[in-house]
Structure formats: C-alpha cells, structure tokens
C-alpha cells in the first residue's frame, strides 16, 4: 500500500515536471513575438495585439502565414520557423494571457 502511494506521488511529480518544461518552452517561443506584438502580446502600436485571442485563431493565423495562404509583410517569414507543435504551444500561451 505504502509503495503504491509513493509510486503515485512520484508519477504526479513527473507529470508536473513535464508540464513545467512545456510551459517554459511556450514562454521562450513566445518571447520572440514581443519585439513586434508587445510584452505578453499587448501591442502598444499599429501591430495587432494577440493576448487573449483564441488559441484557435492564433494557431490558424500562424499556419496560414507559414503556408503563404494569408498575406503578410513579415509574419510569413517569422512563422516559417515553427513546427505544428510549437505553433500550438505559442497559441495556447497567448490565449491564456489576459
């Protein structure tokens, strides 16, 4: 019984660890957007703010920019560097911001 308990706690720690790594990776990837979209996506200028937009919208936009389906001055080039998985992490991160 005690062994099972210890094992369960161990598993939860492991899951927590993996989630923390994913979150900091999302933050790291999303930092490159701040130069244009502002800190935490809260743009102070003409470039659209992206904080709090739906994950679906951000993800779809990045895919369209990347695949050249949507006109862009700079986003096409910027988005070309991300994998599907990274786009999902970035989209989830910005949609979680207030």
Q: Is 35 in the site for ligand HEC (CB under 6 A)?
A: yes
> Within positions 36 to 55, which residues make up the interface with ligand HEC, using CB under 6 A?
36-37, 47-48, 50
Q: Dig out the tokens for 15 from the structure.
A: 């899951």
Q: With 0-12 CB in 10 A as exposed, 13-18 as middle and 19+ as buried, what is 53?
A: middle
Q: Which residue among 26, 51, 66, 90 contacts ligand HEC (CB under 6 A)?
A: 90
User: 44: helix, coil or strand?
Assistant: coil
Helices 55-66 and 84-95, axial angle in degrees (round to 10): 140
Q: Is 89 in the site for ligand HEC (CB under 6 A)?
A: no
How far is 30 from 26, CA to CA, in rounded Å? 6
Q: Which residue among 26, 58, 66, 89 contacts ligand HEC (CB under 6 A)?
A: 58
Query: What would you report as the CA-atom Rg of the chain, rounded to the nearest whole angstrom?
Result: 17
Q: Is 6 in the site for ligand HEC (CB under 6 A)?
A: no
Q: Is 97 in the site for ligand HEC (CB under 6 A)?
A: no
Which residues of this protein are in contact with ligand HEC, per CB under 6 A? 32-33, 35-37, 47-48, 50, 58, 61-62, 72-75, 78, 90
């Amino acid at each position: 019984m005690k062994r099972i308990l210890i094992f369960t706690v161990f598993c939860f720690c492991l899951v927590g660890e993996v989630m923390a790594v994913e979150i900091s990776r999302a933050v790291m990837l999303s930092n490159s957007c701040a130069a244009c979209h502002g800190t935490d996506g809260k743009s102070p200028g003409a470039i659209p703010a992206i904080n709090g937009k739906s994950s679906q919208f951000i993800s779809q936009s990045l895919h369209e920019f990347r695949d050249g389906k949507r006109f862009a001055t700079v986003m096409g080039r910027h988005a070309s560097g991300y994998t599907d998985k990274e786009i999902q992490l970035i989209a989830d991160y910005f949609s979680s911001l207030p």
